Structure 1
Amino acid sequence: MNQAIHFKTSMFDVSKEKENPINPIYGLSLLEWLRKELRSELVISEPDAEDWGWYSELEYEGNNYLIGSCTFFEQGDDPAAELEWVFQVDKYRSFKEKLFGKNKMSTSDECFVYFKELFEKHPNITEVEIG
């Protein structure tokens, strides 16, 4: 099961994002920023579109994860306004792990905690909540 972190920020101008070819949902700019910001610590794949937003993949401490992001923005909205973001973390597990209930994703997962603390510590990100 994926876990989500909700927060608000005006750091990204989503009106300049390339269009999601599947569904007109924004969120690419957060993943691009994370790739750049964390490039010395993590290898995050090039973001790709999904019907619920955008996603990338990464390896963190021996586990593989999908991270996703989306935000609500409509044409005509102020691109400089503070937007609410949803950032998801989902751990890939083997069939055997799923079968025996091992290595489950939770809010105490090291990768999830890493991103939650990153957002909490950033001065331009507010109202960080698990949801």
Structure 2
Amino acid sequence: MAKTIRFTTNLFDISKEDENPINPIYGQSLLLWLNDKIQNSYDFTTPDCEDWGWYSMLNFEGRTYMLGASCLAENKNKLEWILQIDKPRSFWEIILGKEKMTENDECFLYFKKIIKLEPSFKNIEFE
């Protein structure tokens, strides 16, 4: 199960995002910002759209993760952002109950720290 980070910020200008042709949901800005933050330390794909928002694939310490981002833009003055960190597992890992995504997952902890250190991010919640 994916780990989720929620927060509010006005750091990103959603009007400058590329259009999501599948579903008009924002989220690209957060992934682009994260890519800049990690400064090419990890292989991070260009954000692409899905019906639930935007995603990038990440190679983190030899393991593939999917970062999903979306923005609840019902109130333009208080945008709520959601970052999901998913750890795809092989068939055998699922069957054997191995490599589950946990709160102690190194990738989750890495992005948790980045989010917590950004002073413009408020109301941060980790799920």
TM score, norm. by length of structure 1 = 0.90
Distance in 1, matches of 2:88 and 2:30, equals: 21
Unaligned residue ranges in structure 1 (runs of 5+): none
Q: How far, CA to CA, are the matches of 2:37 and 2:107 in structure 1?
A: 16
Specify the SS of the correspondent of 1:5: strand
How far did 1:40 drift?
Answer: 3.4
Counterpart for residue 40 of structure 1: 40
CA distance in 1, matches of 2:38, 2:98: 28
The residue identity in structure 2 corresponding to 1:21 is P
Aligned to 1:55: 55
Shift of 1:55: 0.1
Which amino acid letter does the alignment assign opposite residue 48 of structure 2? D
1:127, distance to aligned residue in structure 2 (A): 1.7
**What CA distance in whole angstroms lies between the structure 2 residues aligned with 1:36 and 1:117?**
15
> For residue 117 of structure 2, what is the aligned residue in structure 1?
121
- In the TM superposition, 1:15-30 aligns within 5 A as 15-30=15-30
Count of residues paired in the alignment? 127
C-alpha displacement of 1:39: 2.4
User: RMSD value over aligned CA atoms?
Assistant: 1.3
Q: Do residues 110 (structure 1) and 106 (structure 2) align?
A: yes
Q: Does the residue aligned with 1:18 lie in a helix, a strand or coil? A: coil
Partner of 2:64: 64
5+ unaligned residues in a row in structure 2: which ranges? none
Query: What CA distance in whole angstroms lies between the structure 2 residues aligned with 1:34 and 1:125?
Result: 13
Amino acid in structure 1 at the alignment position of 2:94:
K
Q: Is residue 119–residue 125 contact of structure 1 (8 Å, CA) maintained in 2?
A: yes
Are the aligned partners of 2:73 and 2:80 in contact in 1 as well (CA < 8 Å)?
A: no
Q: Could you give the per-residue CA deviations for residues 45-100 of structure 1, whole angstroms, max 9, x where no partner exists?
A: 000000100000011112110001001125xx64xx33111100000111110110
Q: Distance in 2 between matches of 1:113 and 1:123?
A: 18
Residues in 1 aligned to 2:32 and 2:40: alpha-carbon distance in whole angstroms: 14
Runs of 4+ in structure 1 off by over 2 angstroms are: none
Larger CA deviation: 32-41 vs 8-17? 32-41
TM-score (norm 2): 0.93
Deviation at 1:102? 0.1
